[in-house]
Amino acid sequence: MEVGREYYPPTHFKLKVGHLRPAGVACSNSAHCEKSFLGGEDLAKTKKGITTKETIKRATIKDMKTLGIHKPQYNRLISIYAETVHQYLRAVSDFAESEYQYETETAAGNPKKSGIVSAMESLRKDILQYSDRLCLNPKSLETIKIEQGGKSTLASMLDKFER
């Protein structure tokens, strides 16, 4: 590496179908190629700058492990939660692109709530419900008892009888 030059990690072009091509190898249709950095999975974003579902899922699992509440059996629910959060982030992005148009006109000329706003409200409620089930918010975390790595009551009683 030359002195004074910044280091950039090697890049790959990732096709939508999941094939990887080394940097410098042209894709047949450059509109369908995404540029991604190796080792940058935590920063993985879609073309619109929205965090990917896999990144949300990994971050959720990491948070749950930090709180001591993750079990592999929850991974299906975590996947649904990650998908819902991703959909919400896309809806927020689309809402911003529409310059926050809250109302649209009906055929009769009356204003009504925009479809994207209704979708965002519904997704917020779903995210809240999933975060409650996964104990990812303070209120739901208060209601659970985190398992300690110690012995069970039965095991401690059997230890007393062995003496």
Same domain for 33 and 81? no
Within a domain: residue 104?
Answer: yes
Most confident of 3-12, 30-39, 111-120: 111-120
Band (pLDDT 50/70/90 cuts) for residue 109 is: confident
Span 38-59, average pLDDT: 70
Band (pLDDT 50/70/90 cuts) for residue 127 is: very high
pLDDT at 33: 41
Same domain for 19 and 96? no
Same domain for 126 and 84? yes
Number of H helices, E strands in the chain: 5, 5
CA 92, CA 69: separation in Å to the nearest integer? 29
Within a domain: residue 85?
Answer: yes
DSSP at 18: S
Same domain for 66 and 96? yes
In this model, does residue 107 exceed pLDDT 70?
yes
Same domain for 128 and 63? yes
Quote the domain boundaries for residue 56. Answer: 42-140
Both tokens assigned to 58: 């990994």
pLDDT at 4: 46
Same domain for 72 and 132? yes
Q: How much helix, strand and coil, in percent to the nearest 5, is found in the chain? A: 50, 15, 35
| pLDDT-above-70 percentage for the chain | 63
pLDDT at 125: 96
CA torsion angle 94 97 103 108 (round to 10): -90
Per DSSP, which regions of the chain are E strands? Answer: 11-15, 20-22, 33-37, 103-105, 111-113
Both tokens assigned to 93: 């992005």
Of residues 50 and 128, the one with the higher pLDDT is 128
Query: How many domains would you assign to the chain?
Result: 2
Same domain for 53 and 32? no
pLDDT at 149: 58
